[in-house]
Structure 1
Amino acid sequence: MSVPFPEPTEHVSTRTEVYLRYLAYFRDGVGRRVEAMTEDEARRSRVPSGWTPRELVRHLTFMERRWFVWGFEGTPVDDPHGDEVDGRWVVPDEVGTADVLAAWRRQAEVTEAVVRRHDLDEVGRPSERWDGEPPATLERVLLHVVQEYARHLGQLDVVAELGGGVTGEV
């Protein structure tokens, strides 16, 4: 079942819920598109830059971990940039798309727990994530992550369309 678009006129009790609903909507779009692909299609690049749908999902997993766990909460994580080698997204060949999607879903649960533990106006803990700059508020982190999902979902729509897969707001 698809997550409905969070209509601007729909009553939501908190700003946190607004952000989490948009995040859930964009995550659902990513998941539905990649789940509808065959393993071969998820491993195939259809763009000049060379990324594949499963690499994009793994990137989203690491991106959330970098922003919420390592960044906002300041918790050390092993290899925060483990989704990249020489500036390119990677997934080890032996890791299947189902495993990539499962790890992504687990990270989504962690992210939601982090968001629900804190107030949107709370400032993140200082950590290496901020490269010496003052940490951002949770609201700014959420806004950044929502826009990153929206951008990547648009890219994935094009790739899915080229492969004859699921696209659009269905």
Structure 2
Amino acid sequence: MTVERIGPPLTAGERETLRTFLDFHRATLAMKCEGLSEEQLRRKASPPSQLSLLGLVRHMAEVERAWFRRVINAEEVPWLWSEVGDYQEAFNADASTMEEVFTAWETEIEHSRRIEAAAESLEVRGYQPRWEKEVSLRLVMLHLIHEYARHNGHADFLREAIDGVTGA
């Protein structure tokens, strides 16, 4: 399957721009994983680090779930891979299958898209318990763009180390 990545619009409104940049970064992570075997996706960056492409996808599924479902939508859903709410635990993909991880990630992205589309505006607020503050949907979308951009940099290095593929 080929990942389709659409470039963000150059002259759209704020919400469409945020939505498209977020989808651009989601697609970038998918592209970095495209065509690799489960073994390659599990390859760790630099032992003893747990960082792998599969771990990055697990982590981003957890991030999507926490920020959109738990914070903005106030859903009382459990964490996917941590009993104590630790995002870092998601990086260790040793006990997960590729199918399980990608299914969870894609499911959380669909929930996030649904929640964002249903929100009246970017001013919709949710409560972030770690910060003990209310946050806007705008901040959540920007935070996820930041998370993906940062981790896509990691994904660049991981992919190059696996098979030499670089770029985009």
Question: Partner residue of 1:115?
Answer: 116
Runs of 4+ in 1 over 3 A off after TM superposition: 83-88
Question: Could you say which residue in structure 1 is the equivalent of 2:34?
Answer: 35
Whole-angstrom distance in 2 between the partners of 1:96 and 1:17: 34
Matched, 1:151 2:150: yes
What is the number of equivalent residue pairs in this alignment? 162
Distance 1:87 1:106 in 2: 20
Q: Is the 8 A contact 2:62 2:87 kept in 1?
A: no
1:121-132 matches, cutoff 5 A: 121-124=123-126, 126=127, 129-131=128-130
Name the TM-score, length of structure 1 as normaliser: 0.84
> Is 2:56 aligned against 1:56?
yes
Percent identical pairs in the alignment equals 26
Other-structure match for 2:7: 5
TM-score (norm 2): 0.85
The alignment status of 1:91 with 2:90, answered yes or no, reads no
C-alpha distance in structure 2 between counterparts of 1:80 and 1:164, whole Å: 30
- Which residue does 1:167 correspond to in 2? 166
Equivalent AA in structure 1 for residue 30 of structure 2: G
Matched residues in 2 for 1:107 and 1:167: separation? 27
Provide closer, same or farther for how the CA distance between residues 163 and 92 of structure 1 changes in structure 2, counting only shifts above 3 A.
closer
* Structure 2: 5+ residue stretches without partners: none
**In structure 2, distance between residues paired with 1:103 and 1:136:** 25
Instruction: Give 2:21's aligned amino acid.
Output: Y
Give how far 1:167 is off. 3.2
